[in-house]
């Protein structure tokens, strides 16, 4: 493959934090990035080549991006899979991962069913269409259980813990749409694997431990603080996930490690994922560079871990207001700590505003490295 000026153009449906970091990673590869996002000054705007302001399901706008691009991808599951399929067929611009993959992933019940049909271990689940079917599902799966919106939920939104039958009606109202019930998993820890599918190539990044609170990802530890056998099981599940999905790219594979040592697949994102942000400093190739390589048909990069790496999300707190981060100089003065600011104009409670990462070249124990990154994260505040 040769490089020329101008280079290839990658169209991205979504110009949020992932689009920003994807644009940053694509540029050194000679790839221009055009993003589509409804926010006038989306986070990707300062680093992308161009930004088309339009809704994620605006077919005319997606077509415009496709006609300007050599390949089209997406950084958010709110992209319209039907429109992507039509535009791919009519313009000839390939979409990766394929729209059929997005269709499978976008509906959580269909996603779980596809993986269960492939023999991948998943928690028990049932589709529900009202109070009676929800109560029947609880009778089968037991309580507590998780009621999940089939479409649109993320960062804990659309998920409701149901303790007993009396909470069913309120939970269904909260989900407000098609839903499923999933058995509650008594897990030891949550593990994530960034799986990569290129042009005839596959690979996985090292298995990562993900630490959540209120279903929001707070910190990651790579490699995960579990035994090698369990990490191998999680990587194997991620490889099997790729058998079900079509198209090139990076896929975030979230799993549970149960107290019995079993790996159960939780959910899959057909794109770079928050649980893989640590790879920017912690791996030979970042998940964002890998996605740009994969979707444009270039060779995959090495996924090796540089050293124990921990990352912590910077989350919004307090009232919604213009985003001004305090304490930045002290964090930047800390040896080995990297700050990634997403450029979002407004801070809101629990909104992901950035993240910190440290790579422990000195052989520090993961627990100490985690304490260190938490200390620096907690020293930041919003004006």
Task: Find residue 252's DSSP bridge partners.
Answer: 194, 269
- The response to whether 190 counts as a known ligand-binding position is yes
Tokens of 89: 């067929």
Tokens of 329: 């100089």
Angle at the Cα of 108 from the Cα atoms of 105 and 111, rounded to 5 degrees: 50
Cβ contact 35:14 at 8 Å: yes
- The response to whether 108 counts as a known ligand-binding position is yes
- The response to whether 241 counts as a known ligand-binding position is no
- The response to whether 346 counts as a known ligand-binding position is no
- The response to whether 184 counts as a known ligand-binding position is yes
- The response to whether 229 counts as a known ligand-binding position is no
Tokens of 219: 């910190």
Nearest Cα to Cα of residue 36 among 80, 86, 2, 102: 80
From CA 172, how far away is CA 101, in angstroms rounded? Answer: 27
Tokens of 264: 């159960």
Angle at the Cα of 292 from the Cα atoms of 289 and 298, rounded to 5 degrees: 100
Tokens of 111: 């996603």
- The response to whether 182 counts as a known ligand-binding position is yes
- The response to whether 352 counts as a known ligand-binding position is no
Beta strand 9-13 pairing with 71-74 = parallel
Give the annotated binding-site residues for ATP: 108, 148, 182-185, 190, 212, 266-267
Give the annotated binding-site residues: 108, 148, 182-185, 190, 212, 266-267
């Amino acid at each position: 493959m040769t490089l020329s000026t101008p280079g290839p153009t990658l169209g991205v449906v979504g110009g949020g934090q992932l689009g920003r970091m994807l644009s940053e990673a694509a540029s050194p590869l000679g790839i221009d990035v055009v993003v589509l996002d409804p926010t006038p000054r989306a986070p990707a705007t300062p680093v992308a080549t161009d930004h088309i302001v339009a809704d994620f399901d605006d077919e005319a706008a997606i077509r415009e991006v496709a006609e300007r691009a050599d390949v089209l991808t997406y950084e958010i599951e709110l992209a319209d899979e039907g429109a992507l399929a039509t535009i791919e067929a009519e313009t000839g611009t390939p979409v990766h991962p394929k729209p059929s993959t997005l269709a499978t992933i976008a509906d959580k019940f269909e996603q779980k069913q596809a993986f269960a049909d492939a023999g991948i271990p998943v928690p028990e689940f049932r589709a529900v269409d009202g109070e009676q079917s929800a109560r029947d599902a609880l009778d089968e799966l037991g309580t507590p259980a998780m009621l999940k919106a089939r479409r649109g939920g993320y960062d804990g939104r659309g998920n409701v813990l149901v303790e007993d039958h009396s909470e069913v009606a309120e939970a269904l109202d909260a989900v407000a749409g098609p839903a499923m019930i999933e058995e509650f998993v008594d897990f030891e820890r949550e593990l994530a694997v960034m799986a990569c599918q290129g042009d005839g190539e596959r690979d996985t990044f090292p298995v990562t431990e993900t630490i959540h609170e209120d279903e929001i990802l707070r910190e990651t530890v790579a490699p995960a603080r579990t035994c090698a056998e369990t990490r191998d099981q999680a990587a194997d599940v991620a490889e099997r996930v790729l058998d079900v999905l079509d198209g090139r790219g990076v896929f975030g594979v979230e799993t549970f490690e149960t107290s019995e040592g079993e790996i159960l697949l939780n959910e899959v994102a057909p794109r770079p994922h928050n649980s893989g942000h640590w790879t920017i400093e912690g791996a030979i190739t970042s998940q964002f560079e890998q996605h740009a390589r994969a979707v444009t048909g270039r060779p995959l990069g090495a996924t090796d871990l540089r050293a124990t790496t921990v990352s912590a999300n910077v989350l919004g707190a307090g009232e919604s207001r213009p985003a001004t981060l305090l304490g930045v100089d002290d964090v930047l003065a800390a040896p080995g700590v990297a700050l990634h600011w997403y450029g979002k104009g407004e801070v809101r409670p629990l909104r992901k505003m950035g993240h910190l990462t440290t790579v422990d070249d000195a052989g520090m124990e993961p627990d100490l490295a985690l304490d260190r990154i938490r200390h620096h994260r907690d020293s930041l505040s919003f004006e």
